[in-house]
């Protein structure tokens, strides 16, 4: 293992490659935080306080939390719309996220963007663009930089089944495969791309694509946070050993509509009921209870933290209009960096 600190160090250092009890508790806590933050955000959205649209990752928490927890702090991660847990694992606070949803000055985007468009360069988290598969291209580019510099780092991109139908995905994966880049590709097989079922997305098993491009492919139960951690940890070891990318196919389910505007009436109720019984939080809670952990106390602390964060976020002011060109790519006034600040310039440094 590399000597770089683990991302999970936010909650106490992961001592070795495998999960110890504090890690298993952290994994649960991050999933519970994601759910609580997103539930609170949804309720604020329904109250009309969140500008724009609203998306969440309900039911998919184990995939983004487990995979991100397996990274080191120097690795980079590209989350998408279902992956708020990735931001939380990397240390972005519930307060910063809720203030971001609300468009407040103290939010991650400082009121310049909303909903899931957030990322903190200082934490190695790249804010997503909406164009499907583009973040896979970005992650491959970062992995190329790490390889060329001989740095023991990797990059990880999350994406949905729908994103794999876009040409950019194939170009990025093919390039990463040829160059044996230290890249981890996490496919969130969540049943749907908007209203299109996964079965109508590709005619082969998703891992056939890993075989086709000559990279490692690993199936995993995307609702088992510890299993996702383990396949990602192994993918990272391969990446750093020069063995190239791994495609992880995480089977999960999108438990809400595409966004809050979508009632998902096209999803059969029986399917949702089946997946409700496989809830990722319930599964990890069951493990911890068996180990004697006071999970109710964790839930209470998470609820309290998120309630306090929501209150503090609502009390924050909107950004000052005079600061509108700070931190955007094209500023009216040149800065020492050229065309506006480039807050993302630290990613590969």
Catalytic residues: 254, 258, 266
In this structure, what token pair is assigned to residue 198? Answer: 């996964």
User: Rounded CA gap, 233 and 235, in Å?
Assistant: 5
Count CA atoms closer than 13 A to 135's CA, side-chain side.
27
User: Rounded CA gap, 149 and 139, in Å?
Assistant: 16
228-to-100, 114, 128, 224, 284 alpha-carbon distances in Å: 28, 29, 22, 6, 12
Q: DSSP string of 254-289? A: --S-SSTT---TTS-HHHHHHHHTT-HHHHHHHHHH
Stretch that binds Mg ion, among 18-26, 134-142, 186-194, 227-235 (CB under 5 A): 186-194
194-to-88, 116, 134, 162, 234 alpha-carbon distances in Å: 25, 16, 18, 8, 31
Should residue 160 be labelled a site residue for Mg ion when binding is judged by CB under 5 A?
Answer: yes
Scan residues 174-193 and list those touching ligand TPP (CB under 6 A). Answer: 188, 190, 192-193
* DSSP secondary structure letter of residue 251: E
**Residue nearer to ligand TPP on the CB measure, 81 or 176:** 81
Helix (H), strand (E) counts: the chain: 11, 7
**Residue nearer to ligand TPP on the CB measure, 75 or 188:** 188
Burial of 89 (0-12, 13-18, 19+ CB in 10 A): buried
Stretch that binds Mg ion, among 15-23, 158-166, 267-275, 295-303 (CB under 5 A): 158-166
Site string for ligand TPP, 93-122 (x = CB under 6 A): ------------------------------
Should residue 56 be labelled a site residue for Mg ion when binding is judged by CB under 5 A?
Answer: no
Site size for ligand TPP (CB under 6 A):
17
Least distance between ligand TPP and beta carbon 132 (Å) = 4
Residue 311 interacts with, from Mg ion, ligand TPP, none (CB under 5-8 Å by kind):
none
Contact pick of 24, 29, 35, 82 for ligand TPP (by CB under 6 A): 82
Residue 130 interacts with, from ligand TPP, Mg ion, none (CB under 5-8 Å by kind):
ligand TPP
Site string for ligand TPP, 136-175 (x = CB under 6 A): ------------------------xxxx--x---------
Binding site for ligand TPP (CB under 6 A): 81-82, 130-132, 160-163, 166, 188, 190, 192-194, 254, 258
Residues binding Mg ion (CB under 5 A): 160-161, 190, 193
């Amino acid at each position: 293992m590399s000597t770089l600190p683990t991302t999970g160090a936010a909650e106490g250092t992961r001592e070795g490659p495998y999960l110890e009890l504090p890690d298993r508790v952290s994994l649960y806590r991050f999933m519970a935080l994601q759910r609580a933050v997103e539930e609170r955000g949804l309720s604020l959205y329904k109250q009309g306080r969140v500008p724009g649209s609203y998306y969440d990752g309900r039911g998919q928490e184990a995939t983004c939390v487990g995979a991100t927890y397996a990274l080191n702090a120097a690795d980079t991660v590209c989350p998408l719309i279902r992956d708020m847990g990735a931001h939380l694992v990397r240390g972005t606070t519930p307060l910063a996220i809720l203030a971001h949803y609300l468009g407040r000055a103290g939010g991650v985007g400082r009121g310049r963007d909303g909903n899931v468009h957030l990322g903190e360069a200082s934490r190695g988290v790249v804010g997503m663009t909406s164009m499907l598969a583009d973040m896979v291209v970005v992650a491959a580019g970062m992995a190329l930089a790490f390889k060329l510099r001989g740095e023991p780092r990797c990059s990880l991109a999350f994406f949905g089944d729908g994103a794999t139908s876009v040409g950019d995905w194939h170009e990025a994966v093919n390039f990463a495969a040829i160059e044996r880049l230290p890249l981890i590709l996490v496919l969130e097989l969540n049943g749907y791309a908007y209203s299109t079922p996964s079965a109508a997305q590709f005619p082969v098993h998703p891992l056939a694509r890993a075989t086709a491009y000559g990279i490692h492919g690993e199936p995993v139960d995307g609702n088992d946070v510890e299993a996702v951690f383990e396949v990602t940890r192994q993918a990272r070891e391969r990446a750093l050993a020069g063995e190239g990318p791994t495609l992880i196919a995480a089977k999960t389910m999108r438990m809400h509509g595409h966004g809050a505007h979508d009632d998902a009436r096209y999803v059969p109720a029986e399917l949702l009921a089946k997946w409700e019984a496989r809830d990722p939080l319930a599964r990890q809670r069951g493990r911890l209870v068996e180990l004697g952990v006071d999970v109710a106390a964790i839930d209470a602390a998470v609820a309290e933290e998120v309630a306090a964060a929501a209150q503090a976020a609502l009390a924050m002011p909107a950004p000052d209009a005079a600061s509108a060109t700070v931190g955007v790519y094209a500023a009216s006034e040149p800065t020492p960096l050229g065309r506006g600040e480039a807050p993302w310039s630290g990613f590969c440094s």
